[in-house]
Structure 1
Amino acid sequence: MTLTAWMGYREASNGLHETVSQKLEQDARDSAKFVRNWFSYRFMDINSQAENQRNADFLTSLKKEYEVSHSSLAEFTKSERWKALVKANQKDLISFSRQYDYIHDLFLIDLDGNILFTIGNGEDLGSNLFSGRHASTRFASSARKTLNNHQTIFSDLGTYALPNNDITGFISAPILNVQGRVIGLFAIQIQLDRISQLIHNNVNNKSLVHYMVGSDGRLRTPLIQTNKGGVLKRQINSEQFKLWQHEHVNNNDINDDESEISFNYTGPNGREVIGVHQTVRLPGINWVLISEINSDEALAPAHRLKNIVLIIFLITSIVVAGLAIFLARRITHPITQLVEASKAIAAGRTDQQVVVKENNEIGILADAFNHMNSARLEQELVMEQSSLEIQEALIDLEEQRFALDQHAIVAITDVTGTIHFVNDKFTEITGYSRQELLEKNHRILNSGHHEKYFFKMMYHTISSGKVWNGEVCNKSKNGNLYWVDTTIVPFLDEDGEPESYIAIRTDITERKLAENELKKKEHSLALAQQMAHMGSWELDIKTNELTWSNEAYRIFDVDQIKTNASYDILMNVVHPDDRAMVKESYENSIKNQESYNIEHRLLMNDGIIKYVNERCETTYDKQGNAVLSTGTILDVTDRKHAEFALLEAKEAAESATQQKSEFLANMSHEIRTPMNGIIGMSGLLLDTKLTSKQRSYANATMSSADALLTIINDILDFSKIEAGKMELEELPFDLQLLTEDVSELMALKCREKNIGILLRYKPDTKRFVIGDPGRVRQILLNLLSNAVKFTQQGNILLTVESIPEKQVNSHIAEFKISVKDSGIGIAQENLSHVFNKFDQEDSSTTRKYGGTGLGLAICQQLCSLMNGDIKVESQKGIGSTFSFTIKLTINPEPSEELLTIKNFDHLKGLKILIVDDCATARMIFEEQVSTLEMREVVSTTCGKMAINALQQGIRNNDPFDIAIIDYKMPGMDGEELVIEISKKNYSLTASSCLSRRSQEKRTVEIYNL
């Protein structure tokens, strides 16, 4: 009973301790997770601000104005120009600072450390962070790291002179301009109180504390929330901190996320506590969260139970002592008899019997002793018989081992690969003696032929207790390679775990040499076929087994690894119009026992048509039955295309002659309007032989007539709108295809001015709609023409997206389409009247760029007719963004098949590299591939970075599968990058952003895609 009570106390004490520990560990994990999550959201907050182009523009403006002011930094930040810039741009930053209570101040700092803007407007505004009074602070150190590493970093807590030497911390993030260059940093100041609240909010026990300690051993948060005096001053040297420092600071092998276990130790205040730690790593710092509770408070119920158990123990001891004295005398005599009998048996007198008359437990024990003695005698006889059988089994086993040694190569190793046994055949094939092999690791025979992955999979199989079989190439002592067919069998212990391995091998070196020789010949044949663009095939007619050469797979555009050759696959590749002819040609050749030579077409999955010349011969047996058909297939696509091009050129020349005749005939009989007459006659005049001066006059006439015709059309359209006679059509059309066509049309004008045009059709945006495609095209052409007209360098971005929150119903959707340029921009005071008819920004715009001033007014009216609106955002000298909304009916039955994510299932799990110096283009590509479930998307800005990324992927055994490459980039352009990739024999699919067919053909020739 006493033992039970004591065990109950121990169990209760241990259980209570375990419960307290688990609760403490859970609280510590939750608090650490809360801190990490809180900081993670703060990093997301600051990154969103740092990536906000308005903040980048604000910092750029401040930096530019400071440089041109030729005044000191302090004077500039007090100037009227600085105040004007701040007033115009600080609204969003003030709103952001008021939105979050953790923000004490916000900073905009340039690359030189100049503090150009703060929310608080303290004394640090207008100072230099790297050379001023704050140069030695942790804030300055983290800011340098942010600018050098382009990473968001937390500075750790430290004293900051402003406003009152408070303990505070800073998060800093790099600010990038539209070209992707770092132009400064965005910083947020956080007070100690907010960080302290994170870990004290959920504390219920009066002695439970959570506090942060830095890697230097100093407090980062107070032990008690109301007492902050020890922060950054008090040194923590508890066993818990030393354990964390040993595991996570001095030892890099331990994972920060590994579960920590609580234990008892003396806390910072000298009392015994139960504590546990959790590592809190943030970019730039390394903290530990220590959670502690007083041991006396936690285990108080167990201590009370201990006192109760002691009282029960004393009472029980008195009762047991009395009973023991009484029973000892009664039990001692029979037990003495058993002892004497046991000694006699041990001395060899096995005929002993113990006689006890009492009919109690001692009597039962005596009977059991007598029975045990009899059973032992019988067991000795059985053991003698078993010993003889074992001797015979050992003799048989030795004979079997001798037979095995004559034919197999045998070795036994432990689980680490150390050799403990080898037979004669093993030493014979390796050239090593037994003394050289025993106690050596099996890696002594590694030839280097196999990859590490090969041995990794082998070890995985045998370490899990399974038998492994495979072919292995080893190296003998003299350096010669030999091949063995190997079977490795694990010997398992009582727990089912391997304790040693036996390897049984057979020499297959001669067979492997023959196989290698055959492969070399097959490779030579495949290389010859590839050079000639000729594939071969073979059909075993009896088994219906079809085989293709590598070049045949390439010609048929079929994946050799994933697909086995078959008649059905072949017929699927043959053009539907030629399938009957191909089938009939083969059947006739079998029937007539003659070869055939035909030309037919192949239809590839991407719609490309190839032309091939196919020949076939069949072998027959003595009875005249077809046995084996062999054939060749020659890719003659280039030759056929040349023939077609020659034919098309001839037809085009004939058509041009005919069209010219018809045009002249029509123009001579039917001049519909004077304006069309002027344009027509000017065109005819330009087709004649003219002097340079005459051609200049004719071109001027044509341009003026075209401009006047555009003006007339604009005036007519506007007149129709104002008179209420403009009617919109209701036609089904593909909005994405329409925007693509318009973009391609405008790309010609963009190329003339050496500027780029980008189309961003956002994912999940509806495509098939019902509306007036002509008017939508008219709006787009007007806006894009203006963008091209007023943009001298940079890019034009056309963005199309649907607005789900404004969708009227399931049948009608609202679309937002915007055109953003990097042109001359519009002054703020002129934005209000850009949509007025016949208005332009000023008279100089009309003189320099031309135009009627009606285009935007017509666009506004057309948007209104389509239940939408149009607006503009612009900055002088930076560019403009025209955005309009329209409402269109969703087409429930599109006539075209819509590509879905399932159409791109073959891209799942692939790794893609995007190379483009334009940040907007990279963003569009990344957005488009984000829904394809690709393994990884990596973006680079130049060819050199792309080469480094490709090499890094190969070194990490994680190469890229696809590359999208811009053709025109600074430094190494797309063509040079493709040449460099082809030199290094990288295996990937490349897609280049090309503007001309000639460039596409040139890239294909370079990379041999």
Structure 2
Amino acid sequence: MIKNSIIDNNNSFLINALSCMADGVIAVDMDGKIVFLNSAAEGITGWSSKEAKNENFNTVFPLINISTGEKVKSPIDNVIKLGKSVGLTKNSGLITKDNRKKYISANSSPIKDDLGNFTGIVVVFRDITRIRSIELELINKEHGFKALFNSVPVGVVILDENEIVYAVNNCVLKFLNIKKTQIIGKAVGNGFCCKNSFDDERGCGYGENCKSCSLRKAITFAEKFNVSTNMEFNNVVVIENKEIEVWLKLSITPVYFGEKRVIVAVLMDIKDRKNKEIELRKAKEEAEAASKAKSEFLANMSHEIRTPLNGLVGMVDLTLLTDLNCEQKENLMTAKSCTNSLLKVINDILDFSKLEAGKLVIENINFDIKNLIEEIIKANSSTALAKQIELNYTFSSTIPQFLLGDPNRLRQVLNNLINNAIKFTEHGEISLKVKNIETIDEHVKLEFSITDTGIGISEENINTIFESFSQVDGSSTRTVGGTGLGLAISKQLTEIMGGNLLVKSKLGQGSSFYFVLMFPVGKELKKDIKQTFKINKVTENLNILLVEDDKLNQQVIGRMLKERGYLVDIAGNGLEAIKMYENKKYDIILMDIQMPVMNGIETTKIIREKEIENHIPIIAITAYALKGDKEKFLSKGMDDYIPKPVKMDKLFNVIESHTVSSKEEDLKNFSIRFDENGEVEFFNDESRILNKEKPILMKELAYSIEELNKALQEKQLSSIERLANKIKSLSDEINIYELKDISFKVELSARRGNLNEAVHYAKKVSEEFEILKKSILDI
């Protein structure tokens, strides 16, 4: 028993001191009976000092593990057993008198007398429920943060201010296939670095190779400027000498925790995305290769069909020039019609292929809409007349004459629809109507409709009429031909032009195809100056070199030229042509493109290099007839282009447009002068005005010559060649052939790299232009 000298009721000072303590204090004798309990202990346990006195300690101070609910061994037993102070486990709690649970921390110590003998035990404790609740809340939040940190589908690496890896989430460990111990607490360059750091250099940021590393630059930038950076990073990362190829999307952000700054790097594994991009790129390349192969096949098919077709058409045309009886003439006209049908089939297939590949380009040029409609009606009238069908048109008077758009594609659509109408109409009429729906801000909305009194279309067929290779009459006994592509092409063309081709039809009563297109209003077109080419002393003795490898085409085109009165030599390939060009002066060369030994493009290049004085026109005559082929051949030094099959009138017009013999002949047949208003007047040899327009071409010519002189001063050969070519084209357009020849010599000199020669001829260009201006003003 504790002696009265130790705890004496008269010792008010000690009692008052213990009572003032914030911590609870309980004194227990060696029998485990409570002999003292201070005020704080009363508040914590719920027992008053009077109630607790002489009660068993475990009754007043029952302990449990709050987490598990299990009883906790009394601390006084441990003190007696061990003979020293003992504490409580972290989750220990007290069950109060009113059965509440409180987290407590306690320290139990032995009380000894002067001789060192145990006389009792003192338990000093405090209520830590509030602190422990906050602590548990923080622990729960930390667990929640860690769960979130480790569950996000992106990798997160946290570096401290010394670039030591402070934390990584599970996504990083899984991505790199490593354990935390392999990276936590290590410098980023030692635990996680690119392969460059192993080239006898220390890790990330220290080696010479690091200066060019995008990841290192991003980290340094974020540290230096305290701003986030985003990037994509591709490299081989090395973890303990194991190489792993990575494709990462990175976001590197500096974050402050109080005064402490860390770098948070968010990593997104985009390797799958990059692999898919590679696959898509490969698939795109394969698709493009397939498309190219298809285009090449179609181009070759077109070439191979057009070449024999040229011989067939040519022979028919030549035979039609001979004396024939009516039956023979009719047979030949039928053969010619068949070749035209075959040519249309080829063109339809090529157009459909371009539409399918999305490569068909719509032009936006000035055109005369009324003239276009009249030409379409005129072109189809003979076919309609042959079936005794009336073909007529109506054209709204409010429609502007000139519009901006693609007249060739509009012509193609209307021709397709009228041809179809003629095919499927046996009697009655076909009407083309062009109606002005509205005019808005210099734009007109036009409705085009083609109505026939033909066989019509059934309800089941009307939904498939615009499908590729679809035909109204698909039976083996159908009476009309065609590829079934015309309507499909027409519909796609109208859609590309901003419209939609629709149809109304009743079986046995006819059909009406219609579409609406919007056009900007255009400007008045300058009229073409057409010269009538007659066989005369200028053209009948022309020396022509025909370069053609196909024997049939040699025969056909050769006969056409001789019928015209031309003198013709024939070369079977480009090499023969060069030899003949060197040994004889020709007025013009007709050049096939695809030939053995040396093709037409190579041949043209060599001839252009050999030209010294006069420019010789070279005309491409080829079965390459796709869009863009003409521009390609002109860019290679050729002057014009005639597609096969060759039509005689086209052949003669092109030849004679490039073979005016002298400037005097030009001025005899074609003159220009300015009137009192500063406009240009064009005259033919009958002194009748053919056209009147502002001197745009002359101004453009003057400007181009001025630019040429600047390019000569700056010694820019490519610009000199380009400008000389432009002057040549402008001169040709207004029939100033002397200027055209001299500008060609400038172009040729620049192409050869001979600047002095280019300067010499350019001076003559300027002189000739001044003479021209003076002669115009003097007229």
TM-score range, shorter chain: under 0.3
Structure showing greater Rg: 2
Q: Greater relative contact order (Cα 8 A, min sep 6): structure 1 or 2?
A: 2
Q: TM-score, normalised by structure 1?
A: 0.21
Q: TM-score, normalised by structure 2?
A: 0.27
